Amino acid sequence: MKHVSLLVVAFMLTLVTPASMQASKNLSVYKDGFVTARVPVAEIDSMNFSDLTPPLTLDEYLAMPEDIADMLVDLAVSGSTSHDVEGLMAVLHATDLMGEDMVMNGTSWFYYDYCHENRLYNYRRTSMIWRYFMEVVKSANKVIETAPEGLLAAYRADTMGQGPSTAVKALGQAYAYRAFAYYYLVQLFQYTAYQDVPANLSLPTVPLLYAPNEPLYGQRTAAMPASVVLKQIEEDLLKAKYMLVAYRSSKTEINTYVVNGLLARYYLLIGAWDKAYEAATEVVWGYNIMPADELEDGFMDINNQEWIWGYDFTEERGISYPSFFSHISNLTHGYAGMNYSSKLIDARLYDQIPATDGRKRWFQSSTNYIDATQRAHASASSWKKDHANLKFGWKDEWAMDYCYMRASEMVLIQAEALARQGKETEAAAALAVLMANRDASWSKASVTVDDVLLQRRIELWGEGFAYFDLKRTNKGIDRTYQGSNHPFALVVPATDERWYYQLPEVAYSDYPALNVADKLPQLKPIAPVAISGTQMAFSFELEPFDTLVNCQMGIVYSLDPAFEKGKTKVYTTNMVG
């Protein structure tokens, strides 16, 4: 019988250990590779490891992809109630502010990100990033573990126009979500720039967590080289592509277009230009570029014809002040709009947008004032500032949708991939598909890589790409130029350690193989060791702890109120003391 991945490890408990020493030690309860609780020894009443329970039910299995989609916008997953930790968009906004293209005019939430001062192991940002993406990984692994045996080998009924079963679609989405999470983790916790600095492929990044029914389960819990993590990302995405089709119930759901878009991003990251172009092309033909007359719609409706993937907020689900729109939109009655921390475009980037380009109207200008009164909340005022962004809008009940992927990005990937290969004429032809809907006067016969990167900065402003593009292209930032509208001077070279986050304290506690002493000598988490037996008196220390041993379900009975009703189901290693 398979079981949900759950493991209890603890410390030495012997009959000769002094009571005072026992009281200072904890039982560490592991669930899916994470410590979920630590209970003082003195508060443990008894243990019994004989209760067996099954993994996810079928209904839970089928619902998990939707649950992960909700998780990406769930404030609670971070373990914090702060207003700068609301899921994926909080990560993208924090990293955007670390670049040069966005100006933060105020000192509210995300200010330390803007200052490049939020990367250390004991800071909330690092913990928040880790928890969100690893929770996605763990949830995806639950689906992979629960999938019926042989589902991947004989899954698809293509005859008579039938598509994959719902069970197959759930599994395909799980692989895509796991790849999606690691795509961000490998970039956030280490340098990238793999084309300019190939040695970065050997740098240690993050552990790889697998489902218990996968051959590599428990074998890659150290900080794996970037090359290993990147290979796993590609393998998962290719599995997902094989298992999914275009049909889906909504744009919140991952389908084959989304997977191809993720593959295009991945191949762009590693510099596989031909594959990046091919994957992006498979997406572009299925979507239209939004026309010029839709550019001022506020980027808040998932029904936009070029949106490929996003989250559809309803009035019931809407999030107010912690939301992405509260922080990014100067038109809302949120943090940006009410002038706590308005978001502006970098003056130098703004000056590079031609007057004939419709995207110029995404940003306010003191010399060409845009009256956005009809689009703004009555309490909003910061949209009137010079260079204030008007790209992101507002509507009642905070029901603005989130965009994760759209067709314009795919066109830009096509163009960059071609330009990187020296095919500058073909790159211009690809880019023309976008520019025909942005600037009617644009008529370049060839474009360089820098031309395409400039268009990425303009088109994708505020959508969470600036930081990752700077890292992969090995560029730093300089906010000290003459005429800068940034409130303070800051220069961060491409090789500066501030470009990547330290693994958080919880990661070192949960994964002893990360060798914290080598990287952060000042941090000394208590690494758990294994315990066995059905009674505490029979437990003893076993080192080193082997994560590949057989696991069985059990119950910990505790006097600690942190445990629900003093009883929590756990797994323990199946060793006899």
pLDDT tens column, 191-214: 999 999 999 999 999 999 999 889
Do 304 and 298 form a contact (C-beta atoms < 8 A)?
no
Q: Is the pLDDT of residue 571 over 50?
A: no
- Separation between Cα atoms, residue 316 and residue 224, nearest integer Å: 41
Q: How confident is the model at residue 150 (pLDDT cuts 50, 70, 90)?
A: low
Do 168 and 151 form a contact (C-beta atoms < 8 A)?
yes
pTM, entire model: 0.82
C-alpha distances in Å from residue 530, one per residue of 37, 41, 548: 16, 14, 12
Q: Which of 343, 342, 368, 344 is nearest to 354 (CA)?
A: 368
Q: Is the pLDDT of residue 548 over 70?
A: no
pLDDT at 313: 87
pLDDT at 565: 36
The three-state secondary structure class of 555 is strand
Q: Is the pLDDT of residue 462 over 80?
A: yes
- Separation between Cα atoms, residue 311 and residue 69, nearest integer Å: 7
Direct distance between the N- and C-terminal alpha carbons of the chain, in angstroms, rounded to an integer: 24
Q: Is the pLDDT of residue 22 over 60?
A: no
Helices 166-188 and 226-243, axial angle in degrees (round to 10): 160
- Separation between Cα atoms, residue 218 and residue 548, nearest integer Å: 6
Q: Which of 122, 140, 244, 154 is nearest to 502 (CA)?
A: 122
pLDDT at 317: 64
Q: Is the pLDDT of residue 530 over 80?
A: no
Q: Determine how many CB atoms are found less than 10 A away from the CB of residue 520.
A: 18
Q: Is the pLDDT of residue 371 over 80?
A: yes
- Separation between Cα atoms, residue 399 and residue 90, nearest integer Å: 17
Q: Which of the pair, 466 or 31, is modelled with greater confidence?
A: 466
- Separation between Cα atoms, residue 241 and residue 235, nearest integer Å: 10
Residues 6+ apart with CB under 8 A from 384: 364
Q: Which of 415, 345, 418, 447 is nearest to 386 (CA)?
A: 345
pLDDT tens per residue across span 79-127 = 677 888 888 999 999 999 999 999 999 889 999 999 999 999 889 899 9
Q: Which residues pair with 301 in a beta bridge?
A: none
Q: Say if strands 34-40 and 102-106 run parallel, antiparallel, or are unpaired.
A: unpaired
